Chains A and B, each alone.
Chain A
Amino acid sequence: MLEFSQHCPVLMTITLLVGAALTPIVSRFRKKLSFLWAMFISLLSFFFCSCATWRLYSEGPISYWLSGWEPPYGIEVRFDYVSTITFLMTGLGVLIIFYSRKYIEHEINEDKFSLYYTLVLLLLCGMVGFSVTGDMFNLYVFLEILSLSGYALIAITEEKLNAMASFKYLVMGAISSLSILAGIALLYNVTGTLNMADMALRLQQFPPILTSYVALVLFVVGFSVKAAMFPVHIWLPDAHALAPSPVSALLSGLVIKVGIVGMIRILYTVYRLGGNINFIPVTNFMGWLAAITILIGAFFAFFQDDIKMIFAYSSISNIGYIVMGISLVSFTQPEKGYLGMVGGLIHIFNHAIIKSTLFLCAGALIYKTGFRKLSDLRGMGKKMPITCGALTIASISIAGIPPTSGFICKWYIILGAIEFGKWYFAAALLIGTLLVFAYYIKIVNAIFFREPNEPITKVDEAPMSMLIPIVLLAIGCLVLGVFAYLPLAVIRPAAATILGLPSTYIPGG
């Protein structure tokens, strides 16, 4: 078992990759097979990921040398505590593929079904590969796989505005990828290596030169676009709102988090706290941007009537929380940044679950009614109680009302902000969550407490294949909040190792 589990970090990527490559072939035999095949592949990958995670927490990080070449000569796949996000990715992937079976009949042409599943598998493959790699250029390659499949998934429907939203995303995404590639190129010339750990070592050996700083800026800009930070968030609302709902769930829940993971890798694995490049001005700037992002996202969400548009803007706001959390660090005292880091990282997980719930619920509503405007969805709560109940739980969760899962990050980030004396960050966060709640209550009001414009007929509860993922995720929103120590047990070592502390670090202890 131990022998086998060592291969898991790479096997889970390969499974998705080969599964995706085989999907068109499989669907040639029977059209319906593509769904079962995608389910099988994602479950297999989830299984491998579970093995890898199990090994991580029993044996410590896994370093896997592709082709057997030791780094920096070959490519290293490194399954460390940050990589646990793959557990979330593959798990959520399974649920979303399951959900898609019925849903895509509604929005996608029948002959594109197998392409849809192929793209979803490729998207998952890109994200998983991105999160476990220990090599800079490999990071870029997987980033491209996931970006390309993300663009295409938005434009897979025949709706009029989708191609435009996708193109906007593509242009900004391509520029950001290029900016990241340029950063890699500069950094390669400074250090002469592509392996992240080796790069970090070599950066310490040479005196810092301007190039390293410029590379850092390029990286941060590039990943900010992927994460949809203010002011480069403009692609997000259209793209996430117009995509088919399960795709929105993937994009909002996971794909934008990839930008965050990238930032973490660059800042804390490559440049490193306490090294000879002080990037605190950059993180401070990011913190400010994050505060603005929180407020801007929440503010614009307020004026939307389209339910998915609201969720999309709230994603922007939530990315602000995460970035704020991970930017609250001190260069010389790593342990000071611990609380903020925990807050940011935990919200990567929680937001993914909450936002997926929201988008899947929205999808179920759209599937059953064909409406996406709040004013048209009035009174749906009585017709689709389970979907709307889940939607309500997720709404409360994302507003950070305890004891739901959205609250935890609020608590930690506020503590982190106080630790640094940046009370105004905490204030921005709180104002943001209040605004968030204001528009989520609008949704809840509309579906439960307002009379429908015209009597609703012929609308009943969503089919089982949609309800099961929704209910599981909604339960997740509650359980991860009440039993917060479970996700925290996973996150704490991640936060500690990112900051260069021992993985068993406990603040004050």
Chain B
Amino acid sequence: MKKGVIIFALFLLWVLLVAAVIALPPMGSSETPAYTHVVPRYLEKEVEEGGANNIVTGIILNYRGYDTMGEVTVIFTALICVLAVLGRENIKRHTSKVELSSVEKSVIVKSVVRLLAPFIILFALYIILHGAESPGGGFQGGAILGASVIVFTLTFGFTLGMKKFPLKYRTILESAGPLSFFISGVVALFCGLNFLTYMLPCINHAYQDLVRHLLLLIIEIGIGIGGGTVIGSIFFAMEKVEKE
């Protein structure tokens, strides 16, 4: 009975939502309000104004940089939230369930991971640094970095993971995302420009483009390192169990 009511209500909602979306212009049309209003300027001028060949990167770092700053803060918030709920891991007090069960990892897995680890990290760095030219950027690279931390720790054991990625560095690196944004953004204030402006007319014209690249690079690296560390730290916080 109750289930029937739920399904019926959801069906009504479905009809409403579908009616709402099919009232939109047909998919793939280039005459839609969305495609004709703001987008043309981005498509035409982004490379010149934003300084990135990847228009999406240009938008997230430049036109909508404030959003991305918020987004970076969301990841940071997620970490703080997880820590607030579960607490930080402590190398003296904590271990993982897997370690407790003392199942030996196969040698093949260990060697493969050992072999691949440098390449994964290299790949992540490539994605971070080339965000402006190709698909990818800080987040994607950061996620891969974080994943590599997880894979490493799962393979070589929780305790070793905690030793290799010590808390005192992670505490600082976790904040890298918001801080890099702040550092890059606040420079403009000293030139009398609005926050997050990267093109600074108050410095020598020849260096303007370079400075902009530098600032964007700081942000990309900050997001990447910060995001990766956050994912790693979340993993540590969730995986840990008390010794005894």
Contacts and interface: CB of A to CB of B under 8 A. Distances in A.
Residue among B73, B168, B178, B192 with most chain A CB within 10 A = B73
A25 B179 CA distance: 12
Given A18-B182, A24-B175, A115-B83, A144 B21 contact: no
B183 to A, nearest CB: 9
B74 A144 contact: yes
Given A18-B178, A67-B63, A190-B33, A115 B194 contact: no
A119 B32 contact: no
Given A25-B171, A122-B77, A153-B84, A188 B34 contact: yes
B84 A142 contact: no
B156 interface: no
- Taking chain A's interface residues, is the majority helix, strand, or loop, or is none over half, making it mixed? helix
B38 A73 contact: yes
Contact of A141 (B35, B70, B76, B193): B70
A17 B70 CA distance: 9
A418 B194 CA distance: 47
Contacts of A10: 66, 194-195
A75 B64 contact: yes
Contact of A65 (B34, B81, B194): B194
Interface string A173-214: 000000000000010111111100000001000100111011
A74 interface: yes
Interface string B10-24: 000000110111011
A67 B194 contact: yes
B20 A152 contact: no
Contacts of A75: 63-67
A137 interface: yes
B33 A149 contact: no
A171 interface: no
Contacts, number: 183
Contact of A21 (B20, B70, B175): B175
B66 to A, nearest CB: 4
Contact of A190 (B24, B73, B80, B82): B24
A148 B77 contact: yes
Contacts of A64: 194-195
A111 interface: yes
Residue among B76, B77, B177 with most chain A CB within 10 A = B77
Interface of A: 3, 7, 10-11, 14, 17-18, 20-22, 24-25, 28, 64-69, 72-75, 77, 109, 111-112, 115-116, 118-119, 122, 125, 129, 135, 137-138, 141-142, 144-145, 148-149, 151-153, 155-156, 163, 166, 186, 188-194, 202, 206, 209-211, 213-215
11 contacts: A14-B195, A20-B73, A25-B172, A25-B175, A67-B65, A68-B193, A135-B66, A149-B77, A152-B77, A152-B80, A191-B34
Closest 9 CB pairs between A and B? A152-B81, A192-B37, A214-B20, A141-B70, A192-B33, A21-B178, A192-B34, A21-B175, A66-B66
Given A66-B194, A119-B77, 17 more contacts: A11-B195, A22-B179, A64-B195, A67-B195, A69-B62, A73-B42, A77-B66, A112-B84, A112-B87, A122-B77, A135-B66, A138-B67, A145-B74, A151-B81, A191-B37, A192-B35, A194-B38
Interface of B: 16-17, 19-21, 23-25, 32-39, 41-42, 62-67, 69-71, 73-74, 76-78, 80-85, 87-88, 168, 171-172, 174-175, 177-179, 182, 185-186, 188-189, 192-198
